């Protein structure tokens, strides 16, 4: 496994591969890797001769300084996991490599309503920071395919819009959510849950599942209300539970209003903010 810290060294290596006609898959991460991240590596390895994983805790996408400080950093272990997973290339830049003074990084995207709702309404500046770093990383890596998790469904939708706006040739591949045995979506932040809140955190996936089961019986409004009541455990504070059109991310009134429907939620479990989602309909 090749590990690069600089843009220049990485690009020299990747340009050689490209010259030899090799396809490149790319999975951007913030490290503290778990099997959710490794599923992106596996998906990329199935499609591409070379898989690049980046590890960069991007300061511009954190709306909360404490969350950035406390974000788990486990680089040694990450490298072991990536090596075991057969990842060919790891890119671990520092902030100066990503945001050098002499380069203007495009950040004038217009996401319409996509970045205004749900996460966008609660995490100011988060998506602008995310789009900035993903765009910069894509310019550096120039992959044939980009692998992102359904876990961050809104993020993936916004990246899809960004790829359109930049006329990118990179294909976006959505990888399913990897969950713990009890249903909790894997997340680097899960290790920060108290033992009690960790146990209770299954309420997110359980609620999503119950909503899916009741889809034909109740109105969307009643389902959202039902979910918010369910998620409101002691020490838990739901921020939103929305059933949306999976393309526009706009709320729908009836399940018949869209072909692709997703339920998305964000909940504070003590001091840790968890997100999860489930595809309710896709036809
Ligand atoms: P992060 O390191 O949290 O920025 O995540 C990097 C990538 O891994 C993103 O595309 C995430 O959507 C994806 N990812 C994170 N957790 C999971 C999971 N539980 N299942 C699938 N993909 C995930």
- pLDDT tens figures, 190-224: 999 999 999 999 999 999 999 999 998 999 999 99
In the residue annotation, 230 being an active-site residue is answered as no
| Angle, helix 126-141 to helix 7-19, in steps of 10 degrees | 50
Residue 131 backbone dihedrals phi, psi, to 5 degrees: -65, -40
| Substitution candidate for ligand 1 out of 25, 27, 28, 29 with most atoms within 8 A of CB | 29
Rounded (10°) CA dihedral 107, 108, 111, 113: 110
Q: What is the DSSP string of 16-27?
A: HHHHTT--EEEE
pLDDT reading at 137 higher than 90: yes
- pLDDT tens figures, 31-70: 999 999 999 999 999 999 999 999 999 998 998 899 899 9
In this prediction the pTM is 0.97
Q: Which of 34, 37, 126, 230 is catalytic?
A: 37
pLDDT reading at 267 higher than 90: yes
- Given a contact cutoff of 8 angstroms between Cβ atoms, the answer to whether 171 and 144 are in contact is yes
pLDDT reading at 170 higher than 90: yes
Q: What is the pLDDT of residue 211?
A: 98
From the CA of 185, how far away is ligand 1's center (Å)?
10
Count other C-beta atoms under 10 Å from residue 222's C-beta.
11
Nearest to 271 by CA among 190, 193, 191, 185: 193
């Amino acid at each position: 496994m090749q590990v690069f810290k600089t843009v220049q060294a990485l690009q020299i290596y990747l340009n050689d591969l490209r010259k030899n006609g090799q396809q490149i898959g790319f999975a951007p991460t913030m490290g503290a890797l778990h099997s959710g991240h490794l599923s992106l590596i596996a998906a990329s390895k199935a499609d591409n001769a070379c898989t690049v994983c980046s590890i960069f805790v991007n300061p511009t996408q954190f709306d909360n300084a404490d969350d950035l400080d406390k974000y788990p950093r486990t680089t040694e272990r990450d490298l072991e996991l990536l090596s075991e997973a057969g990842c060919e290339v790891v890119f671990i830049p520092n902030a100066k490599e990503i945001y050098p003074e002499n380069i203007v990084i495009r950040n004038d995207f217009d996401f319409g309503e996509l970045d205004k709702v749900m996460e966008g309404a609660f995490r100011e500046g988060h998506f602008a920071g995310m789009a900035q770093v993903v765009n910069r990383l894509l310019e550096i890596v120039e992959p044939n395919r980009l692998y992102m998790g359904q876990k961050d469904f809104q993020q993936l939708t916004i990246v899809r819009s960004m790829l359109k706006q930049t006329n990118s040739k990179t294909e976006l591949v959505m990888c399913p959510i990897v969950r713990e045995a009890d249903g909790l979506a894997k997340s680097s932040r899960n290790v920060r849950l108290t033992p009690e809140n960790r146990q209770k955190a299954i309420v997110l996936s359980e609620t999503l599942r119950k909503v899916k089961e009741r889809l034909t019986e109740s109105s969307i409004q009643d389902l959202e209300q039902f979910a918010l009541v369910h998620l409101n455990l002691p020490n838990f504070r739901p921020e939103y539970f929305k059933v949306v059109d999976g393309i526009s991310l706009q709320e729908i009134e009836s399940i018949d209003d869209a072909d692709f429907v997703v339920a998305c939620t964000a909940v504070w479990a003590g001091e840790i903010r968890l997100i999860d989602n489930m595809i309710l309909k896709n036809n």
